[in-house]
Amino acid sequence: MTDRDESAEDVGQVSNLPVTNGQVENLPHEAGLFSGLRIVSLCTLLSRVLGFIRETAMLGLWGLSPVTDAFVGAFRIPNLARALFGEGALSAAFTPLFVREQEQHGRDAAMQLASSVFVWLGLWLTALVAVAELALAATIWLAPLSAELRLWLVLTAIMLPYLPLICLTAQMGAVLNALGRFAWPALLPVLFNVSSLAAIWVLQRFDLTAKTQAHWLAGFVVLTGFLQLAAPWPQLIRLGFRPRGHWLAARERIHELLRMMAPVVVGLSITQVNTFCDTLIALVMSRPVDVVMPDWRPLEFGTASALNIGQRLYQFPLGILGVALGTVIFPVLTRHAERGDWQRLRDDLSLGLRLVFVVGMPASAGLWLLAEPLAVVLFQRGHVTEANARQIAEMIAAYGLGVWAFCGLLIVQRGYYAIGDRMTPLKIGLFVVLVNLVLNFSLIFVIGGRGLALSTSLCGILQFGLCLLFIQGRVGRLPWWSLASNAGRAFVGTAAMTALAWWVLQQFSEQAVNSTGRLLQLGATVLAALVSYAVLTWILRLDEFWMLLRRHREEL
């Protein structure tokens, strides 16, 4: 047996061994993939539910107000870092290096590389944040700013230290994922949301102004970053990770990581960048509360907050399927590429895409159909009026249309990064950003704030299509007939499910006159959609749907 085989056998190949309770076991290949996927999906679902509760609690504090807009806009920067690094970019750049080092030189060498990356990343990001804080302080003190813009910049300055903390946490998660430990990295967002909810509960106990509450909540975000960074260390130490004194010797490998990481960060960040642009445009182009028409700004106040809630809702299926599947499948694809096993790489990539079609399409249709009852049931209370709920519903529906494409994009991009192609997704992504900006400024004058969300969804579909089209030039011809057949049957099943769900929704419309009736209407429609789609997948022989529910699956 070669050293390469020994090192792979030492850690357990993620492509051949599954994970149960975060540990690797000797079960067949597909059982391992779906076992890891279930762990990450369940943790992601819990995180998304708690995140939604956190957003609802924030609305309970401030409603759709300028303070909410400022906090949402300020949190976009650290949250963008979390989405980029915590859900993909750093892992996509670091995992191939870690796997290669592990395959060629063994576990200890791979851990030495991880230790060096941790130290260097911490130093550089701390320096970057220090410079940014100085720039923000100068702007706040010297520039003539409106009250809303000043609050936004102050909150940004408070939360900016969260950026290096979450990036370092993401690198620790990438190490654990590469070794087949998925549970702890997936639970860290849960820790963030639990801590944030505890902070909101504490703030409600005191008689504070909305601005003061926002300042304190921003500080709690940073504190939570320290908790997230500390949580995975016991497991990492058991696996052999620890900062070591000779980290300077790995400078060349760090430079290689940075060269790999720059295009990966941009390529994976396109959807987040587009949603970030949505929020910024909404902040700039929204009329203040006290301004009456006519006004050159086409958007209503509260558009940024409504966008944020729409993004929170579409991230439920995106996280449960797209992020979770991308997390689990990426080490698999990377090992196939490292060993030159192109057939298995194509097979697993195709399996990921079939799962996206079978689950992502009905998720998109469900968000589009149920946007209004979801907005009313979940948000129309306290400071959130009926008009606010309509704003939120428009965003949910528009973002929902692109969910299946956002999920598919996460899988295809992992295919590019597994084979070392970082430039193709980057070029496609930069083109899509330009298209999104053009659509944004075109649509807001035609259909208002929902044009921002619709533009991002359309651009996500475009980006997914282009990435899928060009990847076969790098990995070989994909099974297009199988993918098209799967997508077509999933579309037929989704259309039939949507028609039945719409009928059920109408049948309960008369009962939806109070909160209990609306909840009954929503619950009955969701149940009808789930049951009908499950039956339709059996009729249409969409086996991928049932793969997700089976505990074990024997190797084909």
- Per-position pLDDT tens, the chain of length 556: 333 333 333 333 333 333 333 333 333 345 556 666 777 778 777 887 887 788 778 877 787 677 887 887 788 777 666 666 555 566 667 777 787 777 777 777 788 778 887 887 788 888 988 998 999 889 888 877 777 788 888 888 999 898 888 888 888 887 887 777 777 777 888 888 888 889 888 888 888 888 888 889 989 988 988 988 888 888 888 887 776 656 565 666 667 666 776 777 677 667 777 777 887 888 777 766 555 555 666 677 777 778 878 887 887 788 777 777 877 788 788 888 888 888 889 988 998 899 999 999 999 999 999 998 888 888 777 667 788 888 889 999 999 999 999 999 989 988 898 888 888 988 898 899 899 989 988 888 888 888 888 999 999 999 999 999 999 888 888 888 999 999 999 999 999 999 999 999 988 887 776 778 888 888 899 999 999 999 999 999 998 888 776 654 443 3
In-domain check, residue 522 = no
Residue 18 confidence (pLDDT): 36
Residue 527 confidence (pLDDT): 93
Structure tokens that stand for 433 in this block: 């950003």
Q: What is the pTM of this model?
A: 0.71
Regarding whether 222 and 303 lie in a shared domain, the answer is no
Look at residues 424, 453, 479 and tell me which one is the last residue of a structural domain. 479
Residue 358 confidence (pLDDT): 92
In-domain check, residue 421 = yes
In-domain check, residue 358 = yes
Residue 554 confidence (pLDDT): 41
The identity of residue 262, as a single letter, is A
Query: What is the distance of C-alpha 333 from the center of its chain?
Result: 20
Regarding whether 109 and 80 lie in a shared domain, the answer is yes
Regarding whether 376 and 291 lie in a shared domain, the answer is yes
Number of domains comprising the chain: 2
Regarding whether 409 and 307 lie in a shared domain, the answer is yes
In-domain check, residue 10 = no
Regarding whether 312 and 448 lie in a shared domain, the answer is yes
Regarding whether 294 and 153 lie in a shared domain, the answer is no
At 24, which helix (H) or strand (E)? strand 23-24
* Count of helix runs (H) and strand runs (E) in the chain: 23, 2
* Segments forming the whole domain that contains residue 322: 269-479
At 23, which helix (H) or strand (E)? strand 23-24
In-domain check, residue 419 = yes
Regarding whether 291 and 347 lie in a shared domain, the answer is yes
Regarding whether 421 and 289 lie in a shared domain, the answer is yes
Structure tokens that stand for 78 in this block: 């650290």
Residue 131 confidence (pLDDT): 93
Whole-angstrom Cα distance, residue 83 to residue 41? 16
Look at residues 226, 259, 292 and tell me which one is the last residue of a structural domain. 259
In-domain check, residue 498 = no
* Angle (deg, nearest 10), helices 403-418 and 342-369: 160
Residue 113 confidence (pLDDT): 79
Regarding whether 232 and 170 lie in a shared domain, the answer is yes
Regarding whether 179 and 277 lie in a shared domain, the answer is no
Look at residues 259, 291, 316 and tell me which one is the last residue of a structural domain. 259
Residue 296 confidence (pLDDT): 62
In-domain check, residue 426 = yes
Regarding whether 75 and 102 lie in a shared domain, the answer is yes
Closest CA to 150 of 163, 131, 137: 137
Residue 34 confidence (pLDDT): 63
Whole-angstrom Cα distance, residue 496 to residue 533? 8
Closest CA to 89 of 327, 253, 316: 327
Regarding whether 296 and 223 lie in a shared domain, the answer is no
Q: Which residues contact 482 (CB under 8 A, 6 or more apart)?
A: 350, 354
Residue 367 confidence (pLDDT): 92
